[in-house]
Structure 1
Amino acid sequence: MKDKRILYVSSEVVPYLPETEMASTAFNAARKAHSKGVQTRIFMPKFGVINERRHQLHEVIRLSGMNLIINDMDMPLIIKVASIPKERMQVYFIDNDEYFKRKAIFTDEDDKLFEDNDERAIFFAKGVIETVKKLNWAPDIIHIHGWMASLLPLYLREYYKEEALFSQSKIVTSIYNNDFGGTLNTGLIDKVKYDKIDDSKIEELQTPSYINILKNAIANSDALIKGSETISDELTQFIEEKEKPFLDYQTEETLTEAYLDFYANKVLAQQ
């Protein structure tokens, strides 16, 4: 795996957000791959709770400045970057004042999902892909963590399917036990249709629950990893039906070798 390129895209990453199973796993997977000579990039949303001064984030002017179209609206894309101390790893942050400036992550003070979480997820997916295009950095593997990143497989396979930079990229999605309860804005499917993505590719998004969003990500991925020790029976069955390369849950102690072996012998080995 030395000198291979892996793009890690996660809803959460430590040390920028509080430690959760996903935030730690995404960070450790990238850090340990990096330590083995793998070229890595990490992307995450620039939530308003992230302390820019403490973590020394700065805007990358040459990458910022474009507008992304979200449901017929021009939304400015701002790219910020930080380096993880001691690791010599760069983390890129997808930012937009309308979507990410608020001092909360996914829910309001009443613990209700933000009404625009669907648009934030679309913006994040497009923002990652457009930024990687500007970097002209073709990843061998794109590893997805978290539901806010889970529209990226769909957009890469459909909206950006003619993009040569990603023609050889394999998508790996990790499945976690972090159901947000309820559904996102039911207008999500119309906003995805606005991007001329075929109806047959988004049937699961008619009811944008956590399960259905992850089903869509699974359907558009090349390989899957069980990120939590237990996940829903419905997702487990859906994964089995797809018969794609699958790696069972790994502890922090076994993660490094297991992930790298999976990447090399199951993911990249696919035609």
Structure 2
Amino acid sequence: MPLYKEFDLMKDKRILYVSSEVIPYLPETELSSTAFNVAKYAHSKGVQTRIFMPRFGVINERRHQLHEVIRLSGMNLIIDDMDMPLIIKVASIPKERMQVYFIDNDEYFKRKAIYTDEDDKLFDDNDERMIFFAKGVVETVKKLNWAPDIIHVHGWMASLLPLYLKEFYREEPLFSESKIVTSLYSNEFPGELNPKLIDKVKFDKIDNDTVSHLQTPNQENILRNAILNSDAIIKGSSDFSEDLEQFISESGVTVLDYQSEEYLTEAYLDFYKESVLELQDS
């Protein structure tokens, strides 16, 4: 049984958790439960936490007491030369005193489904939903003027955030000291996203070489792009393909191997403290 140190050095650090899924708002999965449990544990140890997720239409706003934050809503985000209104809603996780911010837009998130239609086919605009979510998180955190020490990304819907922070928002001083951690999960979706994803990302004047992996936007290539734009990664699942394991090994990125549910909350916080916050800016 591993021994973990006290986490006093993490007290009052700021961690921004950005996840495709979080319980209790969506069904329990490896992704949704890990994102919640890690944030909850960090919060209990005195870490300042904020959680961001998409406001999927399947989330019951009345039951979970979501309400719009007018002072944060109202801006438009440019997605592939289209103006898309950003709506921000917020809720508190019962008993935890943890705030969750929801990125919303009627065009992208009102539908009563998460990633796929009634035929289990990926939505054609999932690529735009990813870009909107990434930009929406950054613009909202800028409005909050809340500079995170660590930004921890979970799930493929959130996985363009490292790229946008490193490229599109690279001159934004609020994030100049932030370290980006991405948790990788296996088998999140089969097939490919819209092949125009790469063009829509390049519309934001992001260099072609930086997004080359998105030429074929399948699960593994999206993860490869996130790895290359992260300061550290965590294996959130126990198994990945041999090709992806080799890519991780050759990337040179700091890695925390898969942790069983029994130990992961302590291991993640220890990883933040001992590895991530000690990383030097490249």
Normalization by structure 1: what TM-score?
Answer: 0.99
After superposing the two structures, state which structure 1 stretch, 239-248 or 11-20, moved more.
239-248
1:172 paired residue number = 181
2:277 paired residue number = 268
1:10 and 2:36 matched: no
> Stretches of 4+ moved more than 6 A in 1?
none
Deviation at 1:236, TM superposition (A): 1.1
2:206 paired residue number = 197
Deviation at 1:243, TM superposition (A): 1.8
The answer as to whether partners of 2:183 and 2:233 remain within 8 angstroms in 1 is yes
**The one of 15, 33, 45 aligned to 1:36:** 45
Give the number of aligned pairs. 271
Query: 1:203-222 CA distances to partner (integer Å, 9 max, x unpaired)?
Result: 00111111101100000000
2:109 paired residue number = 100
Normalization by structure 2: what TM-score?
Answer: 0.95
The answer as to whether partners of 1:107 and 1:114 remain within 8 angstroms in 2 is yes
Q: The residue matched to 1:253 in structure 2 has which SS?
A: coil
The answer as to whether partners of 2:227 and 2:253 remain within 8 angstroms in 1 is no
1:109 paired residue number = 118
Task: Return 5+ residue gaps in structure 2 as ranges.
Answer: 1-9
Deviation at 1:232, TM superposition (A): 2.1
Query: 1:112-158 CA distances to partner (integer Å, 9 max, x unpaired)?
Result: 00000000000000000000000000000000000000000000000
**The one of 229, 240, 243 aligned to 1:231:** 240
- Once the two structures are superposed, the pairs formed by residues 27-66 of structure 1 within 5 Å of their partners are 27-66=36-75
Task: Return 5+ residue gaps in structure 1 as ranges.
Answer: none
1:163 and 2:172 matched: yes
Distance in 1, matches of 2:207 and 2:186, equals 29
Deviation at 1:234, TM superposition (A): 1.9
The answer as to whether partners of 2:25 and 2:59 remain within 8 angstroms in 1 is yes
Q: The residue matched to 2:120 in structure 1 has which SS?
A: coil
2:90 paired residue number = 81
What percent identity do the matched residue pairs reach?
79
2:228 paired residue number = 219
1:154 and 2:163 matched: yes
Distance in 2, matches of 1:56 and 1:44, equals 15
Q: The residue matched to 2:271 in structure 1 has which SS?
A: helix
